[in-house]
Structure formats: structure tokens, C-alpha cells
Amino acid sequence: MLTKRKLIVFLSLNIASFIKQKYFLKNNIFLLVKTIKTLIFDKIYLNGDLKIMIFNKKTIILKRLILVGILTVFLLSLYLLQLQPNKSKQKSTAHEEPFVKILIGYHKKPKTLIKGEVFVPIHLGRDVNLDEPFHTGINLTQSKPNPKDHQWLQNNMIGDNTGDNISKFNRQYCEITGVYWALKNLDKLGNPKYIGNFHYRRQLNFKNEKNFVDEVKFFNGTADEKYRKEIGLDEETIKNTIKNYDIILPRPFNFEEGVNLYTHTKIYHPIESLDICFDSIKKRHPEYSESVDIAKDLKSAYFSNLWIMKKEIFEKLCALAFDSLEDVRKTLNPQKCNTDAICAYVFERLFNVFIVKEKLEKNHTMLELEKTWLTDP
């Protein structure tokens, strides 16, 4: 039989148990149901006197009050359970996809390494870095890292020769071997919502969305803390800047009067490389034919292979790019291709074909940011 004292003890213990562990209802639900059954159907001792609840009006009122009290505690407990942290939910959030990952391509040991939650430094051309010279600096001078620097790069960042990769073709593709690595190894980046491509020398200014005049801003020095703070190279600033856009681009480079994308390429690079690429695109991806013709006549273009975009857009870009770039690499005179990092330059022009189509279809929101250039990275 259930006495008044036992009832009070039962309720107190359940409340105390709830404070200690959120799953007390699961453990004591059977006792709770039994208590309610007792109050409705059975006898109850109050102050030592046996009362038949069905026939005693006062006891029936008391029974109802006690029943209401128990149900109130029960419902309150259910509500409070909703406020308790769910361990299984916490465990799953620990494996949530990261918001953005930006590759920082390195050919040589920097004075200051850009690395963090958002930034993923990647050693470009690791398979060939000790054997073949690479292009570096504003004048594209050729140099080779010494073995100590090569070892430092191996110790401090991932290489583009891991997983599915084209590291051995780095002298033709330059920083684009890192782009290919990202495409084929997205799981190693955590399958982020956004993927970006930067360079040890060139980044984007996240602190100056609207008030810039020039296409590029030069900084004398390295990527030190002062520089990063000035251009907003931190997780919070980057997230807040890009979250409302699908594609983030550098401000376009304006050609001289009478020059377009095609003639500009003809001045500085073997034009047959672009002809091969554009012909390949029209053959492999005929839906881009109009965009190719428009891109040839552009009076300004997005250069430097700097961008951030949503993962699904990045995958779409790569689906367009790499088969056509392979046609360039395999078809063009090997000597020209090897000495000019030609596939990287072709990728810049091909990238504009892609953006032209995205703008024509008006599928995505885009933001242009000022490009930064470090003189002594």
C-alpha cells in the first residue's frame, strides 16, 4: 500500500534523480505508472487510516490533487529533457562538414606559413620538386629548392602527390596540381561547403569589399599577423564575407585598349594552347560553345587562379577543365608546354569561360574582392 510519506519520498527521489541524470523517466517510468494505478484503483493509507477512495469524496479530491501533481512533474520532466544536451547529437556535430577550406599552394619554403582551421597549405609538385626547376616570383624566374627546404615542406604540409594526383605534371600545371588534388581528395578536407584556391604570394582582401580602386594591392613583407589582420585572413571574417555568395572572385584584370582575352594570350603565351583548349571544350562540352566565343572577346578577365566557391560549383568547374587541359598537355609541343607552365595559364582563360556561362545562366551570386600580392612571402 502507498502511504503519504512514501508518495512524497517517491516524488522527491524522482526530482533529485532528474537533476543527476536526464534519463530518470526511462528508469522509473514503470514505478510512475504503478503509482498512478494505485491512486485510481487501489486503497491508500493517509495518517494511518484506511480510506476507500471510491466512496470517500474527500479522498477522491485528494487523489485527484495527487494525480495532477504527479502528472505535472511528469510533463515538466519531459519539457526539461528537451533542454538537456543530447550526447549523440553532440557526437554527430563533431563530424559536421567544415564551412570552408582554402588551399594555399607552396613551391618553396615561405618566411611565414599560412595555416589554420580554414587554410590548408599544400606542397605543389612534390614528386618533381627536387628534379626540375619551377617558376617563381613576378618575373617567373626558375629555381630549385634545396633538400633542407624540401624536407621542411614535407614536414609542414600535405603534398599534392597523395591520393589520386597529377603531381608529376606540376611543371605543366603549376598550382593546378593542387586544384586537381582537392577535387580528388575532398574527403581529406572534410568535404567542406566551400573550397578555395590561394597562393603563398597571392590572396584576397576580405576587409575591403567595396572601397578598393586597383585590381591588386601590393604588400611589402610576409604573411605575418599584421598582414593577416589587415586583410581579414581569419575564419570569422571569411565566413561572414562569403556566406551570402556562391562564388568569390578577384577583381578582374582590365586589358589595354584594343586587346581582348584571346589577343592578350597571343601576346604572352603560345596561342595554339588556347586554340586546343577551346576546341576541346566545344567538342567535349558543346553547351559551353557560346561561352567560349564570348570569353574570347572579353575586355577584362579573372586571372591568378584565385577563387572560393561552393563545392558543387567547384566540381562543375573541374568537370569542364581537366579533360580539356589534358588535351593541351598531350597535344602541344612538349618543350613549350614544359617551360611555360602552360596548363596553369590556360586554366585561367578556361576559368573565364566557366564564369561567363554561370553569369549567362544567372544561377549563382558572385562577389569580387581585391587581390593582394606579397613581395617577400
Q: Given 38, 73, 91, which residue is the final one in a domain?
A: 91
Give the global pTM: 0.73
Instruction: Please check the confidence at residue 45 and state whether its pLDDT lies above 90.
Output: no
My answer on whether 60 and 192 are in the same domain is no
Three-state SS at 216:
strand
Three-state SS at 2:
strand
Q: What is the mean pLDDT of residues 193-209?
A: 92
> Containing H/E element for 322?
helix 311-331
My answer on whether 263 and 122 are in the same domain is yes
My answer on whether 34 and 151 are in the same domain is no
Domains in the chain: how many in total? 2
Q: Given 56, 91, 126, which residue is the final one in a domain?
A: 91
Higher pLDDT, 363 or 135: 363
Domain extent at residue 63: 2-91
My answer on whether 52 and 117 are in the same domain is no
pLDDT in tens, 69-127: 777 776 776 667 666 655 444 444 445 778 999 999 999 899 999 999 999 999 999 99
Q: Given 36, 66, 91, which residue is the final one in a domain?
A: 91
pLDDT confidence of residue 147 = 86
User: Among 1-5, 366-370, 372-376, where is mean pLDDT lowest?
Assistant: 1-5
pLDDT confidence of residue 88 = 45
> Containing H/E element for 171?
helix 170-173
User: Among 27-31, 214-218, 265-269, 282-286, where is mean pLDDT lowest?
Assistant: 27-31
My answer on whether 255 and 305 are in the same domain is yes
Backbone region of residue 45 per phi and psi (left: phi > 0; alpha: psi in -120 to 50; beta: other values): beta
